[in-house]
Structure 1
Amino acid sequence: MGDPAALANTDSIHDGTEDADPPHVLNRRHFLTVKSHFRRKRHEALLVLAVEDPGRPVNLMNDTLLHVVIACNKTDLAKSIILLMPVETLAAKNLYGDTALHVAAAVGNSEVAKELFRRSEDLIGEQNLKQETPLHKAAFYGHHDMFWCLVDEGNGSPYERREDGATMLHCAIMGNEPGLALEIAERFPLLITSRNTMAVTPLQLMVTVPGLFRSQMVLGCFESILYDCKCCQPLPSTPQAPRPPPCFSIAFTTFPTNDYLNLAIVRRPNLRSRGVLFLIIGFFGFIIWFYAMRYAVYPRTRHLEKIKRTHRKALELIEFLARDPRNMEFYVLGRKQGDGGAPAAGFRERGERQDQRNAPTASTRRWNEPPLILGAQMGIPEFVSTILRVCPEAATYLDTRGRSVLQVAIEHGNREIVRTIREMTRGKNPILPSWLLSRVDKRTGRTILHFASANAPEHNQDALQMQDELRWFETVRDMVPKELVYSRNAQEMTAEEMFTESHQALLKSCKVQLMETGRMCSGLVAAVVFASSFSVPGDKDPATGNPVYFGRAAFTVFSHTYVFGLSCAATSLVLFLSLAMSPYKEQQFRRIIPIKYFFARSSFGLAMLSFLVAFTCNIYLQLYGWQKTKSKDLIPFILELTAFPFICFLVLFFYGSKFGLSFLFHSWR
């Protein structure tokens, strides 16, 4: 095997960037001893171990005991160890090259950090294998107090870069901490136009962090309600004492106490009536429900409040970074228009001082594009609208292929962004130039209507995708000046001709999906109708010839819902057969086919619901029709019927599923 000392040498270990052999030697006895002392809180014994050999590795990450103590947030013990350790051992590094100050910065322990650089000021400039200083760690993990403690008291340089050229501002954005990033940008404005080794600026980097934007996060039905609730306000910037859940902050003093209830019972002997009993049961049930909602909803509400605050801070950061129009010029200066994008020839003079060594080497990188173009490509409406609001000049810049932001948004199908730009180009004195709507590509002759004629993404196709594409095409056509509606491109094709040609495959796909849906639903409806056509509950009364349950409320509901369900089933069957025999031409997807599909699905859903009610009444009459119904009989019947569906609904509702009437009204868009 090799020398353990050589294996423990972290200078030859790299964090996955190169092929290197990690250490394989572990002193298991020492590891278990340290673990036992931590579990039993034997701080004196840990202190003795730290004094005996402060640089001794504890685990396979080559962490020293000080690393482990700081990571476990044992502040007092860590400060005691630091005071007893020799100064030269404080710079001991683990497998990744992290010193104890790196670990303190990552966990946000400012007390330990102050004690460390009080004894050794050189620790603030120590770098790990990624060339990260403790400042990078604090910025990435969003520890506000820790970061400014290192900057102000530790004299840390905020202009230090990592191995990938990332500055502190880059790290704060990558760590999903826009609040700290905004403070860094306000105090160190030179970092706003800094680029990493891939020539990515902080504003461009934001489009790659989905957690910064609401539109990029998928929340379930329950979480969406909490997020949009007005009482789910963003958390304040400074920590405060715990407060009751915002959505359920009801004071218990508004309810009568148990003593009051007992006193009322003594004074009013007639409170044993059923109404008061239900009131008391309801009151205690509400208390139980309140506590259940408190412990089930409150943690998630706090989490959503934090997300909401992050989104708000992200928009404030975008406003600050894009406020100066000269920054937009900086993003596009140094490249020229071409087919695939020309390489960056250089940067602005102010950025060249720090970023010349970080210029991109590949000509096709997307980072050659301005941030506004990147936001339109990625489909982030908040990003685009915020930039256009604070810096409308950004819309006048083109990408490396000569496309405007509107053309890029249309080509990528980002419709909310298109609507935002359309609103900003309206009026007698619009904030955005009208040439965005009338621009014609000189090389291809395409208008924005030609861009809208492209086919939809294959992963986003459903049975009525053709209708959606037609509506989208008509929306863009209303935006184009009248003289350009029938403009021809370099291939002498109008936008409508391009639309028809590019959507032939989609037309066939929609036809196949509709026919398959019709066959499946038609077979199901036919099977249910014919199987249940003679299931009338009870026998006939010999005296009158009517069913024995005639006149009962359950039988009345059964008869009406069954007939209504039969009518809906027949309608659905006819409509699905009509869809199966339709010619499926392009323009028929605009009106007639979606209407048929809507009523076919609606009648199918109503038929299933009616049959379910009818079958429930049938079962009820079969079981309890011969006797007078009592509460003790109804409660088990209702629980057996609704308990499991209700549990399924609650689980899906709380864990992210979307609910609504999409089954019936999906086609009515």
Structure 2
Amino acid sequence: MGDPAALANTDSIHDGTEDADPLHVLNRRHFLAVKSHFRQRKHEALLALAVEDPGRPVNLMNDTLLHVVIACNKTDLAKSIILQMPVETLAAKNLYGDTALHVAAAVGNSEVARELFGKREDLIGEQNLKQETPLHKAAFYGHHDMFWCLVDEGNGSPYERREDGATMLHCAIMGNEPGLALEIAEHFPLLITSRNTMAVTPLQLMVTVPGLFRSQMELGGFESILHDFIPLEKDSHRTRRRDEEEAGGSSNDAGQAEAAEQDDHEYFGRHRTIRSRFPSCCCTLVDILVFPVKWVRLFLFFIIRTLYPRTRHLEKIKRTHRKALELIEFLARDPRNMEFYVLGRMQGDGGAPAAGFRERGGRQDQLNAPAASTRRWNEPPLILGAQMGIPEFVSTILRVCPEAATYLDTRGRSVLQVAIEHGNREIVRTIREMTQGKNPILPSWLLSRVDKGTGRTILHFASANAPEHNQDALQMQDELRWFETVRDMVPKELVYSRNAQEMTAEEMFTKSHQALLKSCKVQLMETGRLCSGLIAAVVFASSFSIPGDKDPATGNPVYFGRAAFKVFSHAYVIGLSCAATSLVLFLSLAMSPNKEQQFRRIIPTKYFFARSSFGFAMLSFLVAFTCNIYLQLYGWQKTKSKDLIPFVLELTVFPVNCFLVLFFRGFTFDIPFLFRSWR
């Protein structure tokens, strides 16, 4: 049976109600025997070991043989062991307090789970040291069939909480499984407004999971193109709650709901298809034209998916992003939920209290404010999304629930002020579009609001902060353009409004961006010094020689009539001209005063031409030197393909391979950087 000390330690661990010391004694003979049987697939020997002593620990995690068999996905062997094990031994727990059903729920083995709770139903309600039930495990790992199997055939409650107060909906979101989370929210609507011990709701929790949003993921150039190319069909899976409602509802009610849904989509501009952009009389023609394109795209995607296995991973990522947006829409659709987020919490929801918030036109005192460590979660989900810089999260909430923009955070800031203060420009652009027009969705006071305590407008928010770490010589241009964008949003009478310190927004901008201005000047000089040195090394330090000797009869080079010589001569002259231009422009940048407003137009323009001419000079010299080498090697004879092909391969194979590897591994070309000075 093993060492007595180990068995005593096992008993304390199996209790599952208090922490225990890890198992310090390992029966190596038993461990190696089990490992050997697994490697040699001796299932009968493993079954004999399980029947002989079902509760015997196998490893230092205190797993029983049944735990290990289920974790290895040996379904038939696990079912055989379960049938021959005594009922009382099925509840054996490992070091973390997990039963065999916890392990089956984590790996998603529904067959083994049915055998377990078919023989002992109370396993579904068993908790580990974190107070997790098998339902929590299934929700966290996103096993759809397993979760609903436990809900339908078991006696476990879907409203159970972990020790941190997390519900099944919290677990599904933390496990990056928005599809299952959406089904849980639809089937158990009370979980939508549930809070954990830190007073975090499911909608607030979503902003902390970067994998749910496309804007939070860094994909390379090739993978970004492939991600956008992946076709996803409309999800035809109907959730359990919708099936039940449609089974009990009438077709008339369904038609009215569908019409209301369509009106809602048209008003808020969501899910616009190609057909909706044309008159109804043209829909048939549009379908005829789109149908072949759709199938061609599916065919190309099938080929790419076969040749590039990572496409499956990107497809899963894109499906997760789509499901995340659907989940946000469902959680934020009801305006009453938004009031719950900003006015406090319901009694008995198991979470810490949340603070009250000031609403425009009135003020409420804080209701049972939590500790300072949970201050972050006092903010509404919309404010959190603006702080974290998740544009799709914010735009989705604003589309389905525009009322959310009327609430302020604990510091009295609107969502627009928060987005501007954190420099989230795409969110600001979205809010600006929704405040324009004759009948805007969002109220115009978001643009004209003045903070009562500090007297700051949104233009003051835009000018208050500068980047702490600057790695771009033209960062000042971005800041000036950003300031101008917000200035265009502010009503004219507030452009030169003064705050409590009697400072206009422009004065604040100048004061807060002094360090950035100095940093940009230094980087311009360093860039000019580096490029000038490279040009000098290539042009003046390189020996210049015309390929071939001179013809005694004419005095011209012997290769004067060859096409390669003409390319060489023109490329070298162009390179020399571009190099001289680049040197002069970089010298001008180093000697100019570089004042603040000059970074808006003149300095970026000089910098653009200096960099462009430097690039053209390097490219021209490369072409000239290539032609020179070619003439020196093959200029004395007529060019043949057997000579030309090796020469081209020697020049291009290694650079092309490097480019392809970098492109597939995430390298991107920052082409917009070259042209942004013209905007």
Question: In the alignment, is the contact (CA less than 8 A) between 1:337 and 1:401 conserved in 2?
Answer: no
TM-superposed CA distance for 1:666, in Å, is 6.1
Q: Is the 8 A contact 1:340 1:364 kept in 2?
A: no
Does the 8 Å contact 1:575/1:596 carry over to 2? yes
| CA distance in 2 between partners of 1:224 and 1:172 (Å) | 26
- Taking a change above 3 Å as real, the CA distance of residues 388 and 521 of structure 1, as seen in their structure-2 partners, is same
- 8 Å CA contact 2:467, 2:516 repeated in 1: no
**What secondary structure sits across from 2:443 in the alignment?**
coil
The separation in 2 between residues aligned to 1:596 and 1:530, in whole angstroms, is 24
Shift of residue 344, structure 1, vs aligned partner = 3.6
Q: Which one of the candidate residues 284, 297, 301 is aligned to 1:248?
A: 284
Give the structure 1 partner of residue 25 of structure 2: 25
CA contact (8 A) 1:8 1:62 kept: no
Residue identity (%)? 91
Give the 3 Å change call, closer, same or farther, for CA 532–461 of structure 1 in structure 2.
closer
Q: 1:329 to 1:209 in 2, by over 3 A?
A: same
**3-state SS of the aligned residue for 1:460?**
coil
Contact in 1 for aligned 2:2/2:27 (Cα 8 Å): no
SS at match of 2:362: helix
Aligned mates of 2:343, 2:465 — CA distance in 1: 33
Q: 1:348 to 1:35 in 2, by over 3 A?
A: farther
* 1:313-369 Cα distance to aligned partner (Å, 9 max, x none): 100100110011111111111399999999846899999999999984337620000
Whole-Å separation in 1 of the counterparts to 2:281 and 2:646: 39
The 1:636–1:21 alpha-carbon spacing in structure 2 relative to 1, beyond 3 Å, is same
Secondary structure class of the residue paired with 2:347: coil
Residues 1:353 and 1:327: Cα distance change in structure 2 (over 3 Å)? farther
Q: Match of 2:299? A: 288
How far is the alpha carbon of 1:254 from its aligned partner?
22
Aligned mates of 1:167, 1:654 — CA distance in 2: 40
Bigger shift: residues 78-87 or 36-45 = 36-45
Which deviates more from structure 2 when the two are superposed, residues 345-354 or residues 386-395? 345-354
Classify 1:207/1:251 alpha carbon distance in 2 versus 1 (closer, same or farther; 3 Å). closer
Deviation at 1:9, TM superposition (A): 2.8
Contact 1:139 1:171 in 2 (8 A): yes
Structure 1 residue 667: deviation in Å?
A: 4.7
Alpha-carbon contact 1:334-1:348 (below 8 Å) kept: no
Counterpart of 1:413 in 2: which secondary structure?
Answer: coil
Unmatched 5+ stretches in structure 2 = 229-279, 293-297
Distance 1:328 1:252, change over 3 A: closer
Q: Could you tell me the TM-score, scaled by structure 1's length?
A: 0.86
Q: Deviations over 1:431-481 (max 9, x none)?
A: 100000000000000000000002332235410000000000000000000
CA distance in 2, matches of 1:188, 1:664: 52
Q: Report the TM-score, using the length of structure 2 for normalisation.
A: 0.84
Change (3 A) 1:297 1:373: farther
**Aligned-pair CA distance for 1:565:** 0.6
Q: Counterparts of 1:119 and 1:351 in 2: how far apart (Å)?
A: 61
- The 3 A distance-change label for structure 1 pair 15 and 591 is farther
Give yes or no for contact 1:194–1:354 (8 Å, CA) kept in 2. no
Q: Is the 8 A contact 1:178 1:317 kept in 2?
A: yes
For residues 77-132 of structure 1, what are the alpha-carbon distances to aligned partners after superposition, in whole Å with 9 as ceiling and x for unaligned? 10000000000000001111100000000000000000000000010000001000
Distance between the aligned counterparts of 1:307 and 1:56, measured in 2?
Answer: 41
Deviation at 1:396, TM superposition (A): 0.3
Using the alignment, how far apart are the partners of 1:23 and 1:551 within structure 2? 87
Consecutive unaligned residues of structure 1, counting only runs of 5 or more, are 233-246, 257-286
Within 2, Cα distance between the matches of 1:125 and 1:338?
A: 21
Asked if structure 2 preserves the Cα contact closer than 8 Å seen for 1:7 and 1:24, the reply is: no
2:389 maps to 379
Larger mean CA deviation between 626-635 and 525-534 belongs to 525-534
Q: CA deviation at 1:530?
A: 1.1
Tell me if the contact between 1:338 and 1:400 (Cα under 8 Å) persists in the aligned partners: no
Give secondary structure in 2 for the equivalent of 1:222. helix
Question: 1 CA distance for matches of 2:93 and 2:393?
Answer: 40
Contact 1:37-1:45 at 8 Å conserved across structures = yes
> 2 CA distance for matches of 1:195 and 1:98?
25
Number of aligned positions between the proteins: 623
Please state how far the C-alpha of 1:167 moved relative to its aligned partner. 0.2
Deviation at 1:26, TM superposition (A): 1.1
Counterpart in the other structure of 2:608: 598
**Contact 1:573–1:600 (Cα < 8 Å) also in 2:** yes
Give the C-alpha shift of residue 663 in structure 1.
7.2
Q: How far apart are 1:648 and its partner, in Å?
A: 0.5
Please tell me whether the aligned partners of residues 379 and 409 of structure 1 are also in contact (alpha carbons under 8 angstroms). Answer: yes
2-structure distance, mates of 1:547, 1:662: 43
Stretch deviating more after TM superposition (559-568 or 298-307): 298-307
Q: CA deviation at 1:390?
A: 0.5
Q: Distance in 2 between matches of 1:289 and 1:401?
A: 52
Pick closer, same or farther for the CA change 1:345–1:444 going to 2, 3 Å.
closer
- 8 Å contact 2:57–2:63 — kept in the other structure? yes
Q: CA deviation at 1:305?
A: 1.0
Would you say the 8 A contact 1:440–1:447 is kept in 2?
yes
Contact kept in structure 2, 1:343 and 1:361, CA below 8 Å:
no
Report the aligned-residue RMSD.
Answer: 5.6
